[in-house]
């Protein structure tokens, strides 16, 4: 029986152990998609306690606490940070077999050197022990990233952002490279709501362009793409239920957009035609810049109306959706590929039933010009756990080239989340090592070791055009 979280955690054979310790573990981290706070990095924020670093904004933990019967006061409410930590400690023993149990104890060990299991019995001691470290330079926002050998990362940024925090981060001598990601979800809402019209006013101010027509909207977005590019951005992102179903030959779109400007809510097909047109134009901008584009698809958001009304979005009330994806993805990518304007693309699936489809869809649009141009992205959100990552890599292996995979990302709001890269790397090495032990792969450690290093680091390094 192995020791919990021992040196060979998740590694079930000698080949996996050698691959992890000699090839995966030493590699730096490129975290090309997360939601870390740029201001916190620009100011090198020092957390007041582990609760601030660990529980603020972490809806994975919030969902578990609610399932454990913890009152909202101790989750997003006005309880003290120490009280909230105590309630998380009360929840942790009940997360056995949930990835949170692994992540929690990996983070305690890697950042704080704490081997004790978190529980109500150990909570006070651990809270006190972490309090001494959390205020040291080694545990500032930048310090935490450097501890995990983070070489570069990409935040998630709205087109209206002035990127001043990114500019400040660049001035730091000792810091990972931090790049913005262009995420225009709000610009693509294209409804007549007060919120959307207010957003267009902000976009107009940021771009210096009056948005009174569809062409003006595209001009404003182009200006922001140019600005982001000048500030180091090389990646875009989009979070949608599914790609819009639209007719590339649709007419009258400028009039539809002007109706939106007048506060009209369009019919579904009208809205999707407009969204598809604007999204296609954006993707052509990305291609012209040499960017990579990401599509996070399949989330069913804000299921609990009462919670959304009382607490707000991104608070732990989203789930997997069961949207139809294949036909829409095919038509959208084909439309861009027909004019050779399909950028490097990463598609992330949230429903495991669609893994094989996503893997084969990516393969439809490789053109032999860029290695791994079309990527089936790593297990995302509800799928960034052991089974989810194994399923994604098995589908990719069966339908494509695992060797060209650009690997893991955190997709996290927490500066303590980077041991998830270790988690992924151990799972990857065990997957390959098990195949070797079963006689399904050759015992060629040079070739296998290089493959592991590429997936953990080199492939992403070569894929993204970071300065």
Q: State the average pLDDT over residues 276-298.
A: 98
Q: Does the pLDDT at position 202 exceed 80?
A: yes
Structure token pair of residue 392: 């994604």
**What is the reported pLDDT for 404?**
98
Residue 444 clears pLDDT 90, i.e. is over it: yes
Return phi, psi of residue 292, to 5°: -100, 145
Q: What is the pLDDT of residue 50?
A: 97
Which tokens go with 274? Answer: 């407009």
Read off the pLDDT of residues 91-135 as tens digits, 9 standing for 90 and up.
999 999 999 999 999 999 999 999 999 999 999 999 999 999 999
Residue 435 clears pLDDT 90, i.e. is over it? yes
What pLDDT was estimated at residue 290? 97
Distances, alpha carbon 198 to alpha carbons 98, 121, 176, 207, 256, in Å: 41, 50, 35, 14, 18
**Distance in angstroms (rounded) separating the CA atoms of residues 378 and 31:** 12
Query: pLDDT at position 465, please?
Result: 85
Of 236, 170, 179, the closest CA to residue 30 belongs to: 179
Mean local confidence (pLDDT), 5-19: 98
Q: In the predicted model, is pLDDT for residue 171 greater than 80? A: yes
* φ, ψ (nearest 5 deg) of residue 20: -70, -55
pLDDT tens-digit series, residues 372-417 = 999 999 999 999 999 999 999 999 999 999 999 999 999 999 999 9
| Model pLDDT for residues 53-66, shown as the tens digit of each residue | 999 989 999 999 99
Q: What are phi and psi of 367, to 5 degrees?
A: -125, 5
Digit-coded pLDDT (tens) for 343-356: 999 999 999 999 99
Q: Does residue 269 surpass a pLDDT of 90?
A: yes
The confidence score (pLDDT) of residue 210 equals: 98
How confident is the model at residue 151, as a pLDDT?
97
Once rounded to an integer, what is the mean pLDDT over residues 288-308? 96
Span 214-224, average pLDDT = 98
pLDDT of residue 1: 83
* Bridge partners, residue 150, by sequence: 29
Identify the CA nearest to 18 among candidates 8, 28, 4.
8
Lowest mean pLDDT among 105-119, 211-225, 284-298, 300-314: 300-314
Residue 467 has pLDDT above 80, yes or no: no
Domains assigned to the chain: 46-139 (1.10.2020.10)
Please give the average per-residue pLDDT across 64-69, as a whole number. 98
Question: Within 13 A of 13's CA, how many CA atoms are on the CB side?
Answer: 14
Each as own residue / partner, the long-range contacts of residues 7-11 (CB below 8 Å, 24 or more positions apart, any chain) are 9/426, 10/386, 10/423, 10/426, 10/427, 10/430, 11/426, 11/429, 11/430, 11/433
Q: pLDDT grade, residue 266 (50/70/90)?
A: very high
pLDDT reading at 2 higher than 90: no
As given in the structure block, the two tokens for residue 375 are 């990527």
Q: Is this model's pTM higher than 0.85 or not? A: yes
Residue 173 has pLDDT above 90, yes or no: no
pLDDT of residue 431: 98
Q: What is the spatial distance between Cα 411 and Cα 418, in angstroms, rounded to a whole number? A: 10
Q: Which two tokens stand for residue 244?
A: 């819009």
Q: Return the ∠ at Cα 188 (arms to 307 and 268), rounded to 5°.
A: 80
């Amino acid at each position: 029986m192995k020791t919990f979280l021992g040196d060979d955690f998740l590694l079930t054979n000698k080949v996996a152990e050698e691959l992890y310790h000699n090839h995966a573990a030493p590699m730096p981290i490129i975290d090309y998609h997360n939601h870390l706070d740029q201001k916190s990095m620009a100011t090198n924020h020092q957390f007041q306690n582990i609760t601030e670093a660990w529980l603020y904004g972490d809806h994975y933990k919030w969902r578990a606490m609610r399932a454990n019967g913890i009152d909202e006061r101790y989750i997003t409410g006005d309880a003290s940070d120490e009280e909230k930590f105590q309630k998380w400690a009360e929840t942790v023993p009940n997360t056995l077999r949930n990835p949170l149990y692994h992540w929690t104890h990996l983070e305690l060990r890697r950042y704080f050197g704490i081997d004790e299991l978190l529980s109500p019995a150990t909570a006070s001691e651990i809270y006190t022990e972490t309090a001494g470290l959390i205020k040291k330079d080694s545990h500032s926002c930048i310090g935490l990233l450097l501890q995990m050998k983070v070489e570069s990362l990409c935040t998630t940024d709205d087109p209206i952002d002035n990127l001043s925090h990114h500019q400040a981060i660049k001035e730091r001598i000792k810091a990972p490279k931090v790049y913005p990601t262009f995420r225009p979800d709000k610009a693509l809402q294209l409804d007549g709501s007060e919120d959307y019209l207010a957003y267009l006013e902000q976009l107009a101010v940021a771009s210096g362009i009056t948005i009174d027509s569809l062409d003006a909207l595209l001009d404003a977005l182009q200006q922001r793409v140019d600005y982001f590019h000048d500030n180091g951005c090389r990646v875009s992102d989009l979070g949608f239920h599914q790609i819009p179903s639209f007719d590339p030959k649709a007419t009258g779109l400028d009039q539809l957009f002007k109706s939106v400007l007048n506060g009209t809510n369009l019919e579904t097909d009208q809205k999707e035609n407009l969204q598809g047109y604007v999204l296609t134009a954006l993707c052509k901008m990305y291609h012209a810049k040499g960017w990579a584009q990401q599509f996070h698809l399949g989330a069913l958001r804000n299921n609990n109306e009462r919670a959304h009304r009382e607490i707000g979005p991104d608070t732990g009330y989203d789930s997997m959706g069961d949207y139809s994806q294949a036909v829409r993805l095919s038509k959208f990518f084909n439309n861009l590929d027909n004019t050779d304007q399909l950028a490097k693309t990463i598609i992330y699936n949230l429903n495991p039933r669609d893994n094989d489809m996503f893997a084969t869809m990516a393969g439809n649009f490789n053109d032999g010009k860029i290695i791994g141009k079309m990527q089936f992205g790593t297990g995302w959100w509800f799928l960034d756990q052991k089974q989810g990552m194994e399923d994604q890599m098995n589908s990719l292996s069966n339908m494509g080239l695992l060797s060209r995979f650009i690997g893991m990302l955190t997709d996290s709001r927490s500066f303590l989340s980077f041991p998830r890269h270790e988690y992924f790397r151990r799972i990857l090495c065990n997957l390959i090592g098990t195949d070797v032990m079963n006689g399904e792969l050759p015992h060629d450690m040079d070739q296998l070791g290089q493959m592991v290093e590429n997936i953990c680091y080199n492939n992403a390094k070569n894929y993204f055009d970071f300065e």
